[in-house]
Structure 1
Amino acid sequence: MRQTKHNFLIIVTIILVSGISSCTVNNDYYNTNPNNAGTGYQYLFNEDFNSDTRGWAFDDPIDSAYALVSNGMYKMVDYSFTGGYHIAAVSTGANVNRNFLVQSRIKSNNAMALIFGASPNSYGYSFFIDDTGYFAVYKEGTSPQTLITWTKANAIKVGWNDVEVEQIADYWNFYINGTKVWQTPARSLGGSQMGFMVLPNTTGFADYLTLKW
């Protein structure tokens, strides 16, 4: 099952050869001096999805995919089995060359990812979790590179899961519901856009998106 999902992701990305599909880009927006005593973080980007002021929504009827902000949540849908490549990401204004922490709360009926380090010219990296208790990490692109293949994590719950990626001292640390599930040396990031991605045949939801640096 894990191999099937991995192969399917490759098929989906190869179909797209003309850039990041449905990627939203907005002006930088962040607050200085957040209440993060002891963490060392000085800036905060926060998206609570109470309204769509950053342009998260998209509609791709040809590929049976769309996304919208509603009822305080972000809903991302891809009904296609062999369709295109849909990443929704917004500019955060973060300095990703220093320590940072990106957090969200997500759920799906298949597989959904937190996207970090994207730009108009880069797909960034994906931290996927699925509805059967597995996670994976990829460098996204037309030929995605596997950083960690689909791996079982007891920390994954049915329904909502808190996911975090923290860059500390040249390492990336991945957390699910407060449990550290993986660590790897940090890679160079193409930009400071953060967002979400779902695999085809997935309906996914995000409750919020927060970035501290």
Structure 2
Amino acid sequence: MSEADEQPAATATGREIWIEKYRPQTLDDIHGQSEIVERLQSYIAQDDVPHLLFSGPAGVGKTTAATAIAREIYGEDNWRGNFLELNASDQRGIDVVRDRIKGFARSSFGGDFRIVFLDESDSLTDDAQAALRRTMEQFSDNTRFILSCNYSSKIIDPIQSRCAVFRFSPLSDEAVGGMVREIASAESIEVTDAGVDALVYAADGDMRRAINSLQAAATTGA
């Protein structure tokens, strides 16, 4: 499921979405994935970022890690122009996705690379993944691909072999509960220990679900 499918109802009123408002901006700010963060920071420090494959359940930091990488490489003012986010399961088909990638990659200047982030990559058929692999090869000189999926086993071996694979784990209760309390404090919301425990239990390691539930409860006064 994509993030757009899990937005709280409060967004319809124009209120800011808390999962975006409180999304970590840097790799250091990411909760509960310290080993992955350390390796990603090493790639950036060495100016040697490979294609990346992020696998794991929803709400554990895959999209956040991708955007944080772009921010750290290009800076806050320039990262959006060098970062293309696409949903690989676009109903219009892999050809549309490939065309957008080609246009983006061909507009790269000099020797610098740009980043293409493909969410829900495991929803692609094997044939579509084979087409994606050819696109990755075609633009490997000036484009880095970050693929996000729930199950890396659904990604064909030729793509996996071209990526550094990172498996994101469900977040600990401590990490989720800490973030819930931090947001509640920032939003001047009174929460009880029992309330936090209930949100953490329902989230089951999914930070996005916990934050959306907190915002929904705050909006409805539950």
- TM-score bracket, normalised by the shorter chain, equals under 0.3
User: What TM-score do you get using the length of structure 1 for normalisation?
Assistant: 0.27
Instruction: Choose between structure 1 and 2: higher helix proportion.
Output: 2
User: What TM-score do you get using the length of structure 2 for normalisation?
Assistant: 0.27
Instruction: Choose between structure 1 and 2: higher strand proportion.
Output: 1
